[in-house]
Chain A
């Protein structure tokens, strides 16, 4: 083993440790810009590693690879910086499996609650309508024959849908984002 071999091994070890530290920062990095910077360091370390390889084996044919890598690293970090946005608190952290599961369960519970609430409201509205119809002195079989013309009680106004628009059968069109 010559002196040059030892030098190359030491260089490879230094580059590996540097890249590993940068990857750790990319995993921890509280924001995506920290991650961009860390991955920039990784790319430059890879360039240095390829250059080291070329120096050891005296290979001039991998030099174009260095040019390409240096350009790609630049484009990556500039693109991410261009689209950087304000991130909510805690958004930039990689969550563990348990945290993701707890979040999903919480979301599902909220959905269930909302559904139950809506169902209860509709039932209450239906009962109010049933109470209101006999009070208006109409026969009990009228709401079975013509349910569309029965007056909507005040308490049930917000559950009644609008007349369907002939053009947009879905919800109101102006709330859609295009």
Chain B
């Protein structure tokens, strides 16, 4: 294939990636609006969100086709994949501890059990 054909292919793949990424961003917005409680909204805010952003960045990289810019885009994607779980963990933990999680929607709840057990041993171990 000639150089011209390669650029056409890259542009087409880039358009597909941009469309997919935008669709996932829409899915994240719909999920955040429609889901019933904090944890399910976090699900919408982390997974489709990061995947959509990575797809958009891949589309942008295929469109730019320059070394330095593509490395910066890789950096953005890596940052997102590193920070999204940390932010989600902090938000979920704070939500659980301040009672913003709906207990009736949980399938498995190991944290409540562990917290209760810890509290019991704390009270039992006290000298007075």
- Please give the residue numbers on chain A whose beta carbons come within 8 Å of chain B beta carbons, in ascending order: 3-4, 7-8, 10-12, 14-15, 17-22, 24-25, 30-31, 33-34, 36-38, 40-41, 44-45, 47-48, 51-52, 54-55, 58, 60, 63-64, 66-67, 70-71, 73-74, 77-78, 81-82, 84-87
Contact = CB atoms under 8 A, between A and B. Distances in A.
Of the four ranges (under 10, 10 to 19, 20 to 34, 35 or more), the interface on chain B belongs to 35 or more
Contact of A77 (B14, B38, B90, B98): B90
Q: Is the interface of B mostly helix, strand, loop or mixed?
A: helix
Interface of B: 11, 14-15, 18-19, 21-23, 25-30, 32-33, 38, 41-42, 44-45, 49-50, 52-53, 56-57, 59-60, 63-64, 66, 68-69, 72-73, 75-76, 79-80, 83-84, 86-87, 90-91, 93-95, 98-100
Contact of A78 (B33, B50, B73, B90): B90
Contacts of A21: 26, 29-30, 32-33
Nearest to B95: A33
A55 B50 CA distance: 19
